[in-house]
Structure 1
Amino acid sequence: MADIIGGFFKAASSVSSIASAAPSDDDFAEFASPSPATPSPVAESAASISPLSFASSSTPFGTPGLPTSQWYEVWERHSLSEFQAEGWVLLLLCIVVGLHIWGSRRNKAIAAGFLASIAPVLTKEFAQVGFTKPASDLQEFAVEDAVKDVSHQEFVSYATGRNNIAFMHTAIKLQRRNNPISWLIELIVSFFFDQVPMPKDTITMIIQPFDGAEPTKIQGNSKYDNFVWALVNKRQMRRWREERYDLSLTRTSDWEGLPEWLAVMGESKEIGDMCLYKELKEVVKECQSFLELLLVTDLPKEKPTTLSELTARKRITLEITLPSSSTDPELLQRLVSAFIRLTDHLAANAHFRPEVLRKVKATREDETRKLKRAIEEDTKEEREFKLAEKKKADRDAKLRNMSAAEQKKFLEKERQKENKDAMKKQSRKA
């Protein structure tokens, strides 16, 4: 019993010693709940992402590193003022595209309007006007069928089905209204340089006569003599003489009964008297504002380089500038009518005396001889060039088959021969 009691007291004393060795509450003071002066990092993070921080933030992004709006709310992070440069580029692009569309439509309307203004004459003179269907009267005529776009400033039309005329081709070339930048550059350059013509709207009508090659079902014969004759507005006379080979062979003169602004370019006075029939002579006097050229020719526009190009190909050409809106449409119709009927007048009357044709033929024969000489000279130069190339190839092949000593001897002989030839040339000149 005494042993049990003694053991109990020993155990009690050991627990007491352990309890006295354990740390007190003061020892854990630094690990106690955080003080109000130092908030917990976790609490601070939770507070930073609360909804209140989104609403109360005055900076674009609120708390650094965190967005202030949803990812799709771009308008919250950007404004239109950031895209000023892009806006100006877009505005300029819209202006250019808008002007292009306006210019293209404007040119199309001008071409259609011109063709519609002469439609009464075309439908009266030709069985078919346009590319799709014949037009026997004005009610059947459709501008859409009569004009075709080549580009935004070039348009063409076609008419056929008439005695003495195989076809008539009309080319309408307008200003670059569809390209405002190029149009402006052309206007500026033409203003400062006389060599550059002022941009303008031009119409060129070309008649291809049958010239005796009518189909068998057509009655009559449209063949007439070869010659070159033209009525020219004097403000463009120099240009035509420089640009057209056929007109460079004619003489220029004023004509009795014609106004001062018109000049006649032809090969004979008798030819000019025949071409200026009454209807044509009367109407051209009133067309100063838009008439540029009325030409009857059998020679090419460009200077020929081969004999085939010098072969007679008869054409009758009318070139005008686009008449202003104040021009009487009837005047334009009268001019086009006289131009078309000139073919009938030539087929009936352009058969000249041998004395008149002798000079016309002499001019063409002289041009043929000049062309033949030019072709022979070109051919001679080509032959000489080929011969020189062949000699050089033979010489090089011969040198490759020689030894070094033989090559030296061969080159020395060549040098001596060249010196002798040079001395002979000097003695001949002396």
Structure 2
Amino acid sequence: MNALTKALTHITPPPFVAPSEYHGIEYRWRFMTFRPAYFETEAYLLLALGAFVLVAIVGIGYNKNKASSWIAKQTPLLTSQFNTTSPLTWDGYSDAFTFSTGRRVVAALHTTFALRPRHDPFQVLFQLGRGLVDVQYSPRDLVELDFTLAEGAVPNDFVWAVVSKRELRGVKDYRWDLTFTKTTDHPALPANISVMSEFADVTEALLKSTPLPILLKELSNLDGFRSLSVTDQPRVRPDVPTSPSKKHVILSLYVSSSAVPPTLFSFIDTLSRINLRPETKNKLRKSREELEKTLNQEAEREEKEKKEEVNEDKRAERRRKEEERIGKLSSAEQQKYLERERKRSLRKSQGRTVRK
């Protein structure tokens, strides 16, 4: 018996031996007999698989219907504002997006959905369990309208946002650009909304130059409002400065039956009228210069560390090859090599002593 045969004997399951007495249901056809009681475990597994597939099919259909219904409600507004809007495209079963273009002031609009993973029962159970442990955790279906503005649509670089007070907790954890801001309340805004701005002058300029009060009144009445922001910085911290920076208006909502108010487009169109005080402009300019300097320093430090790692790897490779070469030498040649290295080290140490 060779080694392969011995290995197979250890992993091969023992043959099934039917008991002499069987009192359950059985089905016979010619020489074949099927006794269901012997496949009870397999039946449960098939039942669980069927339930998983059924939940996945229902979850996929629910998500697609929810996103399609929301887009259908916004279609009249999007059609009136943009020349082209792409069909809803899915990335998996819980993420989807559309792309709109062909409008003055707005270079492009990306509408993205992040729905609950209803197609995966395990993720749904995980979210449910986490919600029982963490009372602040409440997963919901999200939609975000990201307007990439055309050049010159906003005359100054700044980060500003209004956020529903129920969303303030942890908002800076996933929006790096909002770490530039300070959170305050404003008497001219609805009570359930807080302002996040780099400088108070930005908020005052927006209130005077745009239909922001009307827009915020409409948004505060939406059951799905999360935040509205105007930003020149990316949402994720970049590795290197991005120049020139692109301006974005980002509206974040929960997916609900509410429609986006048309005033949002009037607000975007009037952002070019913002006029900040000279001292505010200087502070914003210095802030961006310091940010660019910091990012450049970090990029240079990271590049230096990578080069040092590469050099260290090269040195380690040379040492390994040298050791392999020495190992192939005879004892006498190895002794000569060690003697040469000793003398070389001695000369180096003497040279250092003389310089001192």
TM-score of the superposed pair, with normalisation by structure 1: 0.65
Tell me the alpha carbon deviations over residues 30-87 of structure 1, each in whole angstroms, 9 at most, x when there is no partner. xxxxxxxxxxxxxxxxxxxxxxxxxxxxx999xxxxxxx996264xx44433332222
Structure 2 residue 348 is matched with structure 1 residue 407? no
Corresponding residue number in structure 2 for 1:319 = 252
Aligned to 1:366, which of 287, 290, 296? 290
1:88 is paired with a residue whose SS is helix
Percent pairwise identity: 25
**1:246 corresponds to 2:190:** no
Higher strand content, 1 or 2: 2
Q: Distance in 2 between matches of 1:311 and 1:87?
A: 62
The CA deviation at 1:252 is 1.4
Kindly provide the amino acid, as one letter, of the partner of residue 98 in structure 1: L
* 1:298 has 2:232 as partner: yes
Please give the secondary structure, in 1, of the residue aligned with 2:176: coil
Greater C-alpha Rg: 1
Aligned with residue 280 of structure 2, among 356, 361, 364: 356
Question: Are 2:188 and 2:213, in contact at CA under 8 Å, matched by a contact in 1?
Answer: no
* 1:72 corresponds to 2:26: no
Matched with 1:98 is 54
Deviation at 1:165, TM superposition (A): 1.2
Contact 2:97 2:113 in 1 (8 A): yes
Q: Which amino acid aligns with 1:317?
A: I
**For the structure 1 residues 367 and 88, does the alpha-carbon distance in structure 2 shift closer, same or farther, using more than 3 Å as the test?**
same
Q: CA deviation at 1:264?
A: 0.7
Higher deviation after alignment, 382-391 or 167-176: 382-391
Select the structure with the greater relative contact order (CA < 8 A; seq sep ≥ 6). 2
Q: Write the deviation string for residues 2-55 of structure 1: whole angstroms up to 9, x where unpaired.
A: xxxxxxxxxxxxxxxxxxxxxxxxxxxxxxxxxxxxxxxxxxxxxxxxxxxxxx
Q: How much has 1:236 moved relative to structure 2?
A: 2.5
Alignment-derived partner of residue 146 in structure 2: 206
Structure 1 distance, partners of 2:41, 2:351, is: 77
Match of residue 344 from structure 1: 269
Is the partner of 2:195 in helix, strand or coil?
A: strand
Q: Distance in 2 between matches of 1:170 and 1:164?
A: 17
Count of paired positions: 317
Q: Which secondary structure does the structure 2 equivalent of 1:118 belong to?
A: helix
Aligned to 1:185: 126
Change (3 A) 1:255 1:102: same
Asked if residue 261 in structure 1 is aligned to residue 173 in structure 2, the reply is no
- Residue 149 of structure 1: aligned partner: 90
What amino acid sits opposite 1:356 in the alignment?
Answer: T
Q: Relative to 1, partners in 2 of residues 1:406 and 1:204: Cα closer, same or farther, differing over 3 Å?
A: same
Please tell me whether the aligned partners of residues 184 and 195 of structure 2 are also in contact (alpha carbons under 8 angstroms): yes
1:71–1:340 distance in 2 versus 1, CA, 3 Å: same
Q: CA 1:416–1:71 in 2, change beyond 3 Å: closer, same or farther?
A: farther
Q: Which residue of 1 aligns with 2:39?
A: 83
1:286 matched to which residue of 2?
A: 221
Corresponding residue SS for 1:149: strand
Letter in 2 for 1:359: K
Give ranges in structure 2 of 5+ residues lacking alignment. 1-19, 327-332
Contact residue 201 and residue 277 of structure 2 kept, 8 A: no
Cα distance in 2 between the residues matched to 1:202 and 1:236: 13
8 Å Cα contact 1:310-1:368 kept in structure 2? no
**Cα distance change, pair 346–71 in 1 and its aligned pair in 2 (3 A):** closer
| Aligned residues of 1:233 and 1:263 also touching (Cα < 8 A) | yes
Residues 232 and 265, structure 1, Cα contact 8 Å, conserved in 2: yes
Q: For the Cα contact (< 8 Å) 2:205–2:275, is it kept in 1? A: no
Which piece of structure 1 moves more, 180-189 or 356-365?
Answer: 180-189
Is the 8 Å Cα contact of residues 116 and 141 (structure 2) preserved in structure 1? yes
